[in-house]
Amino acid sequence: MEQAIRHDELDAALRRCGATWDAAQTHGLLSGRLALAGTQSGSNWLSQVLEGTDAADPTRSECEAILGTLFETTYRQLSARQSDFEPLLPDDGDSTVVRAAALGRWCEGFLHGLVSSHHGDLLKERLSAEPLADIIKDMLQITRVTVEDDSDDETSEEAYTELVEYLRVAVQLTYEELVEFRGELESNEEPDAAPEVLH
């Protein structure tokens, strides 16, 4: 499934409204929050991304609309379980240097979304057991990935493609592994329907 929101589109909107999060970090954070809390993640995620921006600024409303679409699209991709999930990253026209840096920031956002919430010992146990422990360790390593400007383009492109594919599978697996934990959260609260996250 094609990503409804483009990386550059969201990145520009976030800058215009004064957000400190970039597009890759924002989508990584969303993906981590969705894996952890499902539909309950919307308001928390939005508040975190837009923290410090002016609620009366028209550019914030524009950004909220784009983020709402991103939330709905990402939630559908993960909950459909049909391997449609795609990390929101720069287009192939950008250099591997730029895309690798964004990949690292995407993982930073995902890990923040996954481990920064306080849900007690049950969550700690789930995250410290395989396969989630290995996924977290791998993503920490990806946050440190760099590509030199003079590196071999073909080799760098292959390595980047492999990492993106790994992320796709790892995020879907994380979502599946946390289904019971997420279900307990959603059964204890009235879920926010995805289209209403921003209203």
pLDDT digits (tens, 9 = 90+) for 133-192: 999 999 999 999 877 665 667 888 899 999 999 999 999 999 999 998 887 665 555 434
Whether the model clears a pTM of 0.85, i.e. scores above it, the answer is: yes
Of the segments 26-30, 35-39, 94-98, 113-117, which one has the largest average pLDDT value?
26-30
Model confidence pLDDT, tens digit, residues 9-43: 999 999 999 999 999 999 999 999 999 988 888 88
Query: Is 142 contained in some domain?
Result: yes
Query: Is 1 contained in some domain?
Result: no
Q: What is the pLDDT of residue 151?
A: 64
What is the count of structural domains for the chain? 1
Query: Is 117 contained in some domain?
Result: yes
Q: In angstroms, what CA-CA distances link 155 with 86, 147, 148, 158?
A: 22, 10, 12, 5
Structural domain span for residue 21: 7-196
Query: Is 2 contained in some domain?
Result: no
CATH of the domain at 127: 1.20.120.740
Query: Is 173 contained in some domain?
Result: yes
- Please list, residue by residue across 83-116, b when 16 or more beta carbons sit within 10 angstroms of its beta carbon and e when fewer do: ebbbbbbbeeeeebeebbbbbbbbbbbbbbbbee
What 8-state DSSP symbol labels residue 95? -
Q: What is the pLDDT of residue 122?
A: 78
Query: Could you identify the residue written with the tokens 């550019």?
Result: 59
